[in-house]
């Protein structure tokens, strides 16, 4: 008998004993929480949406919860359908993720991560929709209109559903271009709009200057914007903003600029007039 006792690994026994005690404690704690939640009444509904502005508002979420569950204040936490609330809030097209949970103090918390728009599209039919940072389309909101790049012109694609994806190469190129601009403080300050012409080329609409800047598609964006910076640094600085009306970045390894002949002719007239008046 003593020999058998000596062969027992007491370290393993001790570990097993501690594990059993911990498991028992966990069961007791879970039982206490279950009893507590069945008795604890809800005393508050807190909506948490990071940031100062978003497409979905606290009032919208509270109204949806009330529509689903009625007035939850005063009801026991156990009687509130947390998972159902979570599922239905997730169906709001402006919500990327949501977590609903109860605290032991009787508060129901709804934590929402809203979708972030990077581009607003106005298609050829006059319909508007947004594209978020993950490339999903979403409808226009009456609560919030972010200051982001707008794309308009000869665009056929439209918004069809809550989690509608980008369907055409053109829309994907517009999204890539807007995302590239948003990541660079220089271009974010200079480019305010994208326009699709009748040849399906993307054009950049600048805040300063009135040049028609033809980007083409979203291929080699870094190279194209480097060429545009060279245009501003070297050509505009020497000739002035008004002397070129078109800057074409479509072609590899070159910038094609079209002079504004009307401005040049006006300058020539001024020179001739001044020359005549001085004699």
pLDDT score for 266: 52
Domains belonging to the chain, first-starting first, are 44-114 (3.10.20.310), 117-265 (3.40.50)
> What is the per-residue pLDDT across 178-236, written as a single tens digit (0 to 9) for each?
999 999 999 999 999 999 999 999 999 999 888 899 999 999 999 999 999 988 888 88
Lowest-confidence region among 30-39, 101-110, 239-248:
30-39
Question: What is the mean pLDDT of the segment spanning 107-128?
Answer: 93
Please state, for a pLDDT cut of 90, what percent of the chain lies above it.
Answer: 46
CB burial of 56-76 (b: ≥16 within 10 Å; e: otherwise) equals bbeebbeebbeeebeebeeee
**What mean pLDDT value characterizes the chain?**
82
Q: How many CB atoms lie within 10 A of CB 46?
A: 12
Q: Using 50, 70 and 90 to split pLDDT, how confident is the model at 39?
A: confident
Residue 43 CA from chain centroid, whole number: 34
- State the Cα–Cα distance between residues 177 and 254, nearest whole angstrom: 20
Q: What is the pTM of this model?
A: 0.76
> What is the per-residue pLDDT across 263-275, written as a single tens digit (0 to 9) for each?
544 543 443 454 4
Q: How many CB atoms lie within 10 A of CB 119?
A: 25
> What is the per-residue pLDDT across 79-102, written as a single tens digit (0 to 9) for each?
888 899 999 999 889 999 999 988
Beta bridge pairs of residue 122: 128
pLDDT score for 181: 97
Q: What is the CA radius of gyration of the chain?
A: 32
pLDDT score for 256: 87
């Amino acid at each position: 008998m003593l020999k058998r006792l000596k062969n027992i690994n007491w370290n393993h026994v001790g570990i097993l004993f501690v594990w059993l005690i911990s498991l028992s404690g966990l069961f007791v704690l879970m039982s206490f929480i279950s009893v507590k939640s069945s008795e604890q009444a809800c005393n508050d509904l807190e909506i948490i949406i990071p940031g100062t502005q978003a497409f979905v508002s606290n009032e919208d979420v509270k109204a949806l919860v009330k529509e689903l569950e009625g007035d939850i204040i005063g009801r026991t936490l156990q009687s509130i359908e947390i998972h159902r609330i979570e599922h239905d809030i997730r169906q709001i097209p402006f919500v990327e993720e949501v977590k609903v949970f109860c605290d032991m103090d009787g508060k129901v918390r709804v934590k929402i991560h809203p979708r972030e728009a990077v581009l607003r599209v106005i298609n050829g039919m006059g319909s508007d929709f947004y594209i978020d940072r993950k490339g999903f389309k979403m409808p226009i909101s009456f609560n919030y209109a972010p200051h982001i790049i707008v794309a308009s012109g000869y665009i056929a694609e439209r918004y069809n559903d809550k989690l509608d994806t980008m369907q055409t190469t053109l829309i994907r190129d517009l999204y890539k271009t807007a995302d590239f601009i948003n990541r660079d403080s220089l271009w974010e300050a200079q480019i305010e709009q994208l326009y699709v012409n009748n040849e399906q080329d993307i054009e950049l609409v600048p805040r300063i200057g009135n040049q028609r800047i033809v980007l083409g598609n979203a291929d080699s964006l870094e190279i194209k914007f480097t060429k545009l910076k060279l245009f501003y640094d070297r050509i505009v600085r020497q000739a002035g903003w008004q002397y070129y009306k078109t800057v074409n970045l479509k072609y590899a390894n070159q910038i094609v600029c079209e002079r504004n002949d009307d401005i040049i002719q006006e300058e020539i007239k001024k020179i001739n007039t001044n020359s005549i008046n001085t004699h």
